[in-house]
Each structure stands twice: as C-alpha cells, then as structure tokens.
Amino acid sequence: MPRAGLRRLRSPRVWGPGGAVIVAGAVTAVALTAGAGPDTAATADGLPHTTVEISPGDCGRGWQHPHSGTQVFDLRNSSSGAAEVYLRGAGGGPVYGEVEGIGPGTTRQLRVRLGPGAYAFTCLPDDANATTGPTVRVTGGGPAGPAAAPVTQHDLIDPAIDYQKWVAGGLDDLVRQTEDLRAAVTDGDLAAARTAWLPAHLTYERLGAAYGEFGDADQKINGTTAGLAGGVHDPGFTGFHRVEYGLWHGESAAGLRAPAAALAEAVHALRDEWAQDRMDPAALGLRAHEILENTAQFELTGRTDYGSGSNLATARANLDGTRAVLVRLRPLLTTRYPELPRLESGLDRTGRLLDGFRRDGRWTPLDALSRAERQRTNAAVGDLVERLASVATLCDPRRTV
C-alpha cells in the first residue's frame, strides 16, 4: 500500500474523556466580551478564557487568577520564533494539554478541565531550551480532566530496537518467499507463481511500521502506478504489484522473469541494508496509526488491486502489522491510555470480521462484498484508525529541555 510518510502532529491536543486524545484544529483567539475575572473573559463558547504568554521570557505570564472547571487558555506567542507549549502538573507532572507549532505573533487556544492541584506551563521555543512558568494552584471544584505522563525519546528506544529485530526476522522470511516466487516464474509455472505471490506480499505488508525507514526500497518492492505516466506499462512500475498485474492479466512467464528477479533482488538488498539501519524510535507510535489509515485509504477502496483481488487479505496483514507495533508499545500505553483494552478488543473483532472473508482457502475480492459487508468493514477499520490516532499522539515524544 502507498505510504503516507512520517508526519508530525501539529495541532492543539488535550486528553479527552476516557483518556482519548482530542485533536482540535488551529483556532485563533476570538473577540472577548464581558469579563469573568481580572485575567479572564467569557466568549461565545460560554467558557472563561485566560490569555497566557508563551514567549521564553514570559512563559505562563497572565495566569494570575486560577479557577477550576472547563476553561480555555488563549496562548499568545509574542516572540520572534515558533514554539510549542504544554500544560502540566507542577514539578514535571502529567500533561493535561498541549499545542504545537504556534507561530510568532499568533494566538492559539487550549481547552482543558482543571481540578484542585498545582499546574505550570512549559514553553518550548524552536531551537531553544524549554522554560517553565510559575506554579499556579487551583482550589475547589471537581476532578481535573484526563492527563498522561509524557513519553520521551528514551522511553521508545527499547521498543524500537525490539521491533527492528522483529522486522529483520520478517525480512528473512520475505527473502525466502520472493525466491520461491522467482523460481516459479523462471520455471514457467504461473499457477505456482500465483500461489507464491500472496504469502510473500502479505509478509511484506505485515512490516508496516518500518516502511518509512525502507526509503526508496519500498517503491521498488511495493510501489503502485501512482504518478507514472505509462501506468502499468511504465518502466518505473516494479515490485509486487508489477508481478501481480502480469500474473493476473495473462502475461507470459518470459515477460515476468525480469520483474520477478528484480523484486527478489530488491528484497535481498533491503534485508542486507536493514542490518545496518537504525529505526527512528519517535516514528513508532505514528506508524501504528498510519498502517490502518493507509489500509482504509488504499486497500478498502481497491486502489491497490492489480488483479489478484487480495485487498482484504492485505487489510488482514496490515492488522497483524499494527498489533506487532502495539505489543511493543503496550508497556507505555497501559498507564497512559485507558482505552487500550477497547482498542485491543476492536482489533480482535476486526480480525474476525476480515477472517470471515476467507472462504475455502480463498479471499473474497473487494468488489464481491455486499454493501452491508463493505459498510461493516469500513466502519470497523475507521474506528480503529480513530483510536490509533490517540496512540500516535500519546507516543509522540515530548521535549523536556
């Protein structure tokens, strides 16, 4: 499936009900009306607003009259550079909300629910050390909104190393399977080649969180015709889908020998290079989300079907790939993401749903599903994508200096 590439999450974030992460769009400050206190004002949203400075020299300035309950902080960056900001429990406590990428001269909003306790803003300008504002104590009211202990780059190193070793084992399997595919094509046994194609392709698809580290090799191994002027006949169309197209569109074994050999050689090269690579730990949580995001965008729409009708098998492999990441992130998520059991249950249900489309050893083509079956599948994967967005946010490493 095509890869979205590593994207940094750049939007206001706050832990919502049940610990889920609410991601809101950038919102500039609105006009204020009647004041609710010396440093707050009520707006059309009915909530008190407090304007807070986030520049390095004035981090947290303006929050002088704290109160409990749901409220909005209008975060004003009066410095000459971009910055991000966290609202945390005082003394390096859990994060209640954050906003990234606040440009110079820009005001962005952060909505949180505060209860009794001590809080402080931490401001992190680009290319400068973090600064922490004054501690502010809130009294009275109900409990504060959900919060999560920040994940650091160091926290992700061991999960990333373990995942990288797992990928190495998968690449060993992939080398053997693509060699089987090449041998069948070389022998002229196209029926055996069609049988060998799917297991090899699914092995590759299970390695989902590593695609960003594969670089140009991913395009050689699993690229599509997107952006190719010649479509399926373009010389740049290579890899699994090139072989798939030929196998299911009547191409001769002689015509497929070069594409099958190129695929096997690209896989060999990737396996050898992977032993020297180092996966970016910061990418792990984001990749867990992107795997199924791409599944919904490309596999469940049939955009990557070049004749085999195996999109649902690929979706199932992508589900396995997501689990492989979550297993390694689970120690970090257990104490940070209360919705983790529901996410895992959703993965189980979706797995059973997809498994039901494999009948008598054959996967149902996407276009053979009933409307109700497609709706159930899209809804199940869509729900997982939403939940995995929370995982991506929670596992996005926070700066501490």
pLDDT in tens, 128-175: 889 999 999 999 999 988 888 889 899 999 999 999 999 999 999 999
Question: Distance between CA atoms of 327 and 331, rounded to whole angstroms?
Answer: 8
Domains of the chain: 13-138 (2.60.40), 153-394 (1.20.1420.20)
Question: Distance between CA atoms of 28 and 126, rounded to whole angstroms?
Answer: 20
The whole-number average pLDDT for the span 19-35 is 32
Report whether pLDDT(334) > 50.
Answer: yes
Query: Whole-prediction pTM value?
Result: 0.81
Report whether pLDDT(278) > 90.
Answer: no
Mean pLDDT check: name the lowest of 191-195, 286-290, 355-359.
286-290
Share of the chain above pLDDT 90, in %: 73
pLDDT band at 57; cut points 50, 70, 90: confident
- Tell me if 294 sits within 8 A of 329, measured CB to CB: no
Res 214: pLDDT: 85
Within 13 A of 68's CA, how many CA atoms are on the CB side?
12
Share of the chain above pLDDT 70, in %: 89
Q: What are the distances in angstroms from CA 200 to CA 194, 206, 226, 335?
A: 11, 10, 22, 37
